[in-house]
Amino acid sequence: MDLPLPKNAFTVEEGIGRLVLDSGKSQYVSNPFWAELSQEIAELRAMFDEDEEDSDGDSPIPAPSSITQPDHQSFVMGYSSADVDMKALHPLPSQIPFYWSTFLENVMPLVKLLHVPTMGKIIKEVQHNLDTISRSTEALMFSIYFATITSMSDEEVAINFGVEKETLIRKYRFGTEQALARASFLSTNEIMTVQAFVLFLTCVRRHDDTRFAWSLTGLVMRIGQSLGLHRDGEKFGLSPYDTEMRRRLWWQICVLDVRASEDHGSDPSIYDHTFDTKFPLSVNDADLDPDAKEPPQPREGVSEMTFVLIRFEICALSKRLQYTPPGRGPCPSGNAKSLTLEQKEQLIKATSVRLEEKYLKYCENAGPLYWVAGTVARLIFAKMSLIIYHPLIQPGKPQCLSPHTKDRLLTSSIEIIEYSRILETEASTKKWGWLFRTYVQWHAIAFILGELSVRRNSPLVERAWQAIDSAFDDWSDAVGSSKRGMFWQPMRKLMARARRKREENMTSMEEETDKDHWEGAPDECIAALRRTQALLDGEAESPPVEAEQSQNYLDREQSHSNNFDTNVSPQVVGMGMLAPEQVQLQLQMQQQQQQLQGQNQIPWIMDDNALLDLDMSALNGDDVTWTGWDDLARDFQIQTGQQVPDANALGGAGNWW
């Protein structure tokens, strides 16, 4: 006969393991022996109808405190006394609504881990009953405080709180770490604790770009697997609400995994064949009822999930492109080692077309957030088209890029830098800039400098120099003195080589041979050439460039195809934003003239004395290649004791995300 299950517990087994849910907690067992044994124990308990109050550990999910004491877990984050007064670390109750509203505006659209209506009720309870909240709720609250301050500028923090941003960052990071330890995050069965942990790791990258986040990402992956997040809730008959929240959480863990692997040149730890969790639905939180028995219908067009769904799609593509299984055995079809360059191109293009049809075509006029989503998605496809030509991704293959392909890759690299700067500084998008500000676009800068070292003057070359000057000026302060600055020395070597070529070009122009010195300008771009020449002469305004004419050239078929649709709409309605051509033409003419005359240079980059100590041997030859750049980067990493990236890494194709 069928035996009843323990009270207040939900258990399912479908040949894929056993999942037990109880009061917001879950435990997953995949091993057939343990799954069967746990089922038999549950049946025995149900048979004897043991009372929970009379039986120690009667719940199918053991309480975390029965496994590990909270003060034993604080060593992971940095040991502190278990007697810390956590209440003193919370903001004033009157400030909590401000934190929540700022979080909803700056963080939630980019990291949709929470269900806003449900969390809104919890926020009200916390505000009025801070002494009685659970430890998992407290951990989530501190991660919200930490994320909120992370998303704000120094000026915004000073105006609203009257203290320096760094002070609050230290306070809430400490509070989050201690709250996670008190919630026994290492042995937790609670979804809310894992949400707090994932949100913390998403934001801590902004402040701690070391192995700290990378190591803890592996930990949160294991915790997620122990809760069964890697198995889709539909297979276990979970409610639509529980299924959706678990999908959101698992895919955010996947994003963390891909980004961590990019940081350290390693393979992702989560492979396609190790999980079956589907993408979340494209719905608004209002469509998702915790008590509903049927899932909501996905929305056509944009939804509150559009941004993160694009992130998840690109995450999945990145994993397919970059993972090469270790060992000498046969490689399963569909992963990086078995894919040819042409197949990778086709995979990128197919994904681009699918996302364009499903999401991106709706993003252009839907508002700033969706413009950001569409722009970044197209730029990441552009970056993927750049990275797959990297010789370390295709070892043993000669570099045989056609001039047309090099032009396309150079254009993509320029757009990557231009739009990354817009995303960080444009008034209508900078509130989300905290997510994009973590990375410097090393591969784009390196490719541009390599091309500038061998190209003669052209409109594209001048646009590239403007992008490079902006990148070095704005990003050098952020990374020059940090551990990420290990790339800055080899980058300066590339800059030195490019500078010498620039001086040659300037000398030719001064000798009035510049008309013969322009190259790479197609017939369709005559108007653009004339405008740029007028700009150099100080006689032009900055009218919009005919993007369609430039596009005709970029889409022209050549011997080596590279036809990715990576171009961004020339004008975003209602946003006052400019396309790349307009961005570079809007720069001050005076600054452009000064740069061409050798003035207004960034001293430590352009000063001869700053470059005397650089060994240029790795850049000898007629061309600056990816191999030369990688030799420089690897040599410097070895000298400084840093980890050398693995050849499988895709070079940060998912950056900004």
Q: Select the more confidently predicted residue: 241 or 8.
A: 241
Per-residue pLDDT reduced to its tens digit, 222-253 = 999 999 999 999 998 999 999 999 999 999 99
Per-residue pLDDT reduced to its tens digit, 499-522 = 898 888 888 776 655 454 445 433
Q: Which amino acid is at 150?
A: T
- Does residue 647 fall inside a structural domain? no
Q: Angle at Cα 38 formed by Cα 34 and Cα 40, nearest 5°?
A: 120
Q: Which amino acid is at 499?
A: R
What secondary structure letter does DSSP report for 2? P
- Does residue 654 fall inside a structural domain? no
Tokens for 277?
A: 């969790």
Residues 49 and 89 grouped into a single domain: no
151: nearest Cα among 206, 223, 224, 77:
206
Task: Determine the straight-line distance between the first and last CA of the chain, rounded to whole angstroms.
Answer: 52
- Does residue 619 fall inside a structural domain? yes
Pairwise CA distance, residues 280 & 282, whole Å: 7
Question: Looking at 240, 268, 299, which one is the last position of a domain?
Answer: 299
* Phi, psi for 572 (deg, rounded to 5): -95, 120
Question: Looking at 299, 326, 355, which one is the last position of a domain?
Answer: 299
Q: Angle at Cα 178 formed by Cα 174 and Cα 182, nearest 5°?
A: 170
Residues 25 and 91 grouped into a single domain: no
Residues 395 and 501 grouped into a single domain: yes
pLDDT score recorded for residue 489? 66
Residues 132 and 262 grouped into a single domain: yes
At a CB cut-off of 8 Å and minimum separation 6, what does 59 contact?
6, 9, 22, 52
Residues 101 and 221 grouped into a single domain: yes
Q: In what order do the strands lie in the sheet with 25-29?
A: 10-13, 18-22, 25-29
* Strand partners of residue 28: 19
Tokens for 272?
A: 């396609």
- Does residue 308 fall inside a structural domain? no
Pairwise CA distance, residues 289 & 303, whole Å: 16
Q: Angle at Cα 63 formed by Cα 58 and Cα 65, nearest 5°?
A: 135
Tokens for 561?
A: 């195809």
- Give the range among 80-94, 277-291, 341-355 with minimum mean pLDDT: 80-94
Residues 16 and 96 grouped into a single domain: no
Q: How many CA atoms lie within 13 A of 110 on its CB side?
A: 26
Residues 50 and 148 grouped into a single domain: no
Q: Are 149 and 197 in contact (CB under 8 A)?
A: no
- Does residue 594 fall inside a structural domain? yes
Pairwise CA distance, residues 45 & 55, whole Å: 10
pLDDT score recorded for residue 276? 93
pLDDT > 60? residue 638: no
Pairing relationship of beta strands 577-578 and 571-572 according to DSSP bridges: antiparallel
Per-residue pLDDT reduced to its tens digit, 168-189 = 999 999 999 999 999 999 999 9
- Does residue 338 fall inside a structural domain? no
Domain count, the chain: 3
- Give the range among 489-498, 546-555, 635-644 with minimum mean pLDDT: 546-555
Q: Angle at Cα 417 formed by Cα 279 and Cα 610, nearest 5°?
A: 135
Neighbouring CB atoms inside 10 A of 43's CB total: 15
- Give the range among 57-71, 136-150, 281-295, 351-365 with minimum mean pLDDT: 57-71
**Overall residue count recorded for the chain in this entry:** 657
Tokens for 457?
A: 């003057």
* Strand partners of residue 10: 21
Per-residue pLDDT reduced to its tens digit, 540-549 = 343 333 333 3
Neighbouring CB atoms inside 10 A of 153's CB total: 13
Predicted structure pTM score: 0.70
Residues 271 and 232 grouped into a single domain: yes
Residue 145 belongs to what H/E stretch?
helix 135-151
Burial class (CB in 10 A: 0-12, 13-18, 19+), 163: exposed
- Does residue 648 fall inside a structural domain? no
Round the average pLDDT of the chain to a whole number and report it: 71
pLDDT score recorded for residue 587? 40
For 32, 194, 304, the CA distances from 367, given in Å and listed in that order, are 50, 31, 12
Mean predicted confidence (pLDDT) in 474-498: 64
Q: Select the more confidently predicted residue: 392 or 457.
A: 457
Residues 249 and 174 grouped into a single domain: yes
- Using N-to-C axis directions, what is the helix angle for 368-387 and 341-358, rounded to 10°? 170
Question: Looking at 275, 299, 323, which one is the last position of a domain?
Answer: 299
- Give the range among 211-225, 305-319, 482-496 with minimum mean pLDDT: 482-496
pLDDT score recorded for residue 440? 67
Q: Identify the residue whose tokens are 């604080």.
A: 74
Residues 103 and 42 grouped into a single domain: no
Look up the domain containing 178 and give its range: 70-299
Residues 243 and 133 grouped into a single domain: yes
pLDDT score recorded for residue 164? 96
- Give the range among 475-489, 586-600, 616-630 with minimum mean pLDDT: 586-600
* Phi, psi for 51 (deg, rounded to 5): -80, 135
- Does residue 359 fall inside a structural domain? yes
110: nearest Cα among 568, 356, 573, 437:
437
Mean predicted confidence (pLDDT) in 21-44: 56
Q: Select the more confidently predicted residue: 118 or 608.
A: 118
Residues 465 and 441 grouped into a single domain: yes
